Structure 1
Amino acid sequence: MAMTFGRRVAYWRERRRITQTDLGALLGKSRRWVQAVEAGERQADPQISVVEAVARALTIPVELLLGDNPPPRGVDDVEFAAIRAALDRHDVITGTAGAGAAPLPVATLHRRLIHARSAFQSGKFGSLGGLVPSLLVETNAAAALHDGDEQLRAYGLLATVMDLVEAAAVKYGAHDVALVAGHRAVTAAERSEDTVVIAAACRHLADAMTGQGQPRAAAEFAVASAARLETDLRARGGDGLSVLGMLYLKAAMAQAGAGAGTDLLAATAARAVPDLLDQADEHAAELGHDANHHWTAFGPTNVAVHRVTAHTHLSEGAAAVSVAADITPDARAGLPRERRAHHLVDLARAHAQAGDRAAAVDVLLDAEGESEEEVQCRPKSVRLVEELRLLGVGSSAEGRLRLLARRCGLPG
């Protein structure tokens, strides 16, 4: 069904996190005027000057307000294009800055980075298109123009911004972008001379390599990074133990991905998974509690969550459901919203693998309650919704699945 102009205005206003009052102010109109437009009571057949003004205020092309097709879900073309464009800038590629440019203070950039990372962990992925491009450019300039300790810290921030680009790209299946950002993160991290930042960048690169179809190389890289950095990481307390543990979790996920293959080495890769998870568990036990050091959400609960994921990669749905049952609601609630939603999507797949597709629908709805974007926007999640529609979920869950599919933008 084609969307009206008013519904498109409402969609893009919400995607841009702009209130009706603020949009009205940008247009020189009242909040009531915006309400009337979105409700179809005004500008149902809009004047081109109005369309152009709204498009400028929402920073989108005019055609996105006039097309017949539903708008895209997730990081839309405009937002993701902005991230790609920033990554492809000459100064960002070369690590240089324009003549006469003045770098922002590292402390200012650090505050902005916290805001962007918090948005990601809150499951608000769409906001990254408005936050990440300028942060990427400005941390790059800071690394190029500062000197001494400030330059080292700036390289650390640049690496962490690249990590965020990688993580967002993996969410939306843009594995080419993830791999580029992962490699650049490692390069910047090494220049920061900060072992925690280096380990964090290595774990993100391992994740990108797995997504790009290089799971065995990813596992080897993550384990080698852990071995190289372990002594220094242990001296860094919670931050160090957390990124060290995450390296083993990423190695386990890579081997689980390889173990799902059909070649002669798949069984060997699958057998390696439990030992890697146990190694991560040892570091979680050393840490002693669930935490979020250096944006890892690492601890005993996150290791258990990754055990569930590993079982689903290996199509061991019943085992995954069993492991998930031992994660208490309080423990799960202590994870960041993004991690909770991600886990629930994996658990939904586990239920589907175990033959309980009605339960899979209910768990997907729980995941949607944690983060709409994790379910409605992520290709991996939408594929699961489509698979459930094709397989059938029984009459008790059919209506709920149909509505969920509609929210995911699936036809029919």
Structure 2
Amino acid sequence: MSSHATPHQVEPIAFGQRLQIHRNRRGMSRTVLAGLFGKSPSWVKAVESGRLQTPKLPMILRIAEVLRVRDLVDLTGPEVGTSLPTELFIGPGHSRLPAVRAAVDAYPLTTSRQAPPLEHLRARITRAWTARHQAPDHRRVIGTLLPDLIRDAQLAARQADRATDRRTAQSLLAQVYALAQFFLAYQPDSSLLWRVAERCVVAAQESEDPHTIGIAAWLAAEAHRDAAHYDAADAVTEETLRWLAPHRPDGGDDVRAIAGALEVAAGYTAARRGNAGAAWGFWDRARASADRLPNDYYHPVTSFSRTVMGAHAVTVAVELHAGGESVRQAARADAHTIPSRPRRARHRIEEARAHQLAGEAETALATLERAHQTAPETIAYNGFARRILLEESESRVPAPRARASRLAVEIGALAA
């Protein structure tokens, strides 16, 4: 042993070992992982064994995207990661986050304040969802509304006397927690997001309302998939779809729409796993569900509708890393028909992913610029957009490098 060594020194974990740990944690074979970013299983094995050196930043970013590694240091190690932007799938903490956190954390038992009437609270929640869809700075808008909505909905649930009022109040409380999840997503407080998600599920179950239960399940599945808990996401969607089945014929458009949204969610998870057959099968089921809705119907929480199915097809193809199919689906989808600004911006980001997969960097960047014009807060918190901009900011071609760097600085993904 060298005289300079100490008994407590630990060899750093190499990139390949970290890659293998994350891959195994996600339950992915080398074949599936390799296929999702266009490499061979033998290439993955060579990187994991250390026979190949650590890839360059663009490939590291693509691996991080596939494995849903939120902090790049977890994948690269601090020795490599110190020079890299660390947060990929976590955006900045919003200025309204402390106020929303305080409202969630509060536990007022002795207040004498009277809860607002349930119909008044319902109208405020409806206006909040409408404001979210219309505003380019939607996090600021709902972050401003949420603290009072959380406090009033909690009071309403606690003060309701009759059984029917208690169920209605629990449904409204679940809807407020659903709105909070849209605000908290991709912010640096994942424990708060999970607490709100769990409260949403509990309140929804207490409401006994199929539509509200479906919303809570859809949001729980989204959270599980974003955390790469694919088995949990599948369990939530499959169980809820089975439970909703007898409610769908007579449950009205909202129940049929939330079931369709859950079918889309199941398709997204299958695509994230690399299972093309199951992914497109769920999309087909969702398409049939959308076709049973009125032409002008638009679900206020999930955006599920006829108009959004083209956008969903783009995402399925992109999650399967099928570049040509992604671009074909993007050409068919019409972003202008999506009434929600944040959902339209998200679709633009998915289009950008499609064009980058197809090797069309300039088109991808132009599409991200349109997303930024539509809803700046959407792109600032979107890990896929951040990954594209960081990758293209390393391009050897001056024009896309400068274009990507400018937008990356504007959304806070790179320092000025």
Q: CA RMSD in A?
A: 2.2
* 2:354 counterpart of 1:350: yes
The unaligned stretches of length 5 or more in structure 2 are 1-89
Alpha-carbon distance, 1:194 to partner:
1.3
116-125 or 139-148: bigger deviation: 116-125
350-359 or 177-186: bigger deviation: 177-186
- After TM superposition, the score normalised by the length of structure 2 is 0.72
Deviations 1:244-277 (CA, angstroms, capped at 9, x unpaired)? 1011111111222233xxxxxxxxx443211111
Q: Which residue in 2 is equivalent to 1:158? A: 173
Q: Which residue in 2 is equivalent to 1:220? A: 235
Correspondence for 1:411 among 388, 409, 415: 415
Q: Which residue in 1 is equivalent to 2:30? A: none
- Using the alignment, how far apart are the partners of 2:321 and 2:128 within structure 1? 34
Q: Which residue in 1 is equivalent to 2:118? A: 106
Alpha-carbon distance, 1:366 to partner:
1.0
- Using the alignment, how far apart are the partners of 1:136 and 1:169 within structure 2? 14
Q: Which residue in 2 is equivalent to 1:205? A: 220
8 Å contact from structure 2 (residues 353, 388) kept in 1: yes
Distance 1:405 1:142, change over 3 A: same
Q: Which residue in 2 is equivalent to 1:125? A: 139
Count of aligned pairs between the two proteins: 323
* 2:292 counterpart of 1:255: no
Aligned residue identity for 1:404: L
* 2:331 counterpart of 1:307: no
Structure with larger RCO (C-alpha < 8 A, sep 6+): 2
Q: Which residue in 1 is equivalent to 2:323? A: 317
Q: Which residue in 2 is equivalent to 1:36? A: none
Aligned residue identity for 1:89: A
* 2:145 counterpart of 1:139: no
- Using the alignment, how far apart are the partners of 1:192 and 1:385 within structure 2? 43
Deviations 1:167-211 (CA, angstroms, capped at 9, x unpaired)? 222244654333222221111011112111111111111111112
8 Å contact from structure 1 (residues 176, 212) kept in 2: no
- After TM superposition, the score normalised by the length of structure 1 is 0.73
Q: Which residue in 2 is equivalent to 1:401? A: 404
- Using the alignment, how far apart are the partners of 2:99 and 2:92 within structure 1? 10
- Map 1:368-407 → 2, pairs under 5 A: 368-392=372-396, 394-407=397-410
Distance 1:173 1:253, change over 3 A: farther
The unaligned stretches of length 5 or more in structure 1 are 1-72, 92-96, 260-268
Q: Which residue in 2 is equivalent to 1:246? A: 261
8 Å contact from structure 1 (residues 219, 252) kept in 2: no
8 Å contact from structure 2 (residues 263, 285) kept in 1: yes
Alpha-carbon distance, 1:344 to partner:
0.4
Deviations 1:267-321 (CA, angstroms, capped at 9, x unpaired)? xx44321111111111011114252234332223322211211222222222111
- Using the alignment, how far apart are the partners of 2:371 and 2:255 within structure 1? 30
* 2:235 counterpart of 1:235: no
Aligned residue identity for 2:123: R
Q: Which residue in 1 is equivalent to 2:192? A: 177
- Using the alignment, how far apart are the partners of 2:391 and 2:198 within structure 1? 34
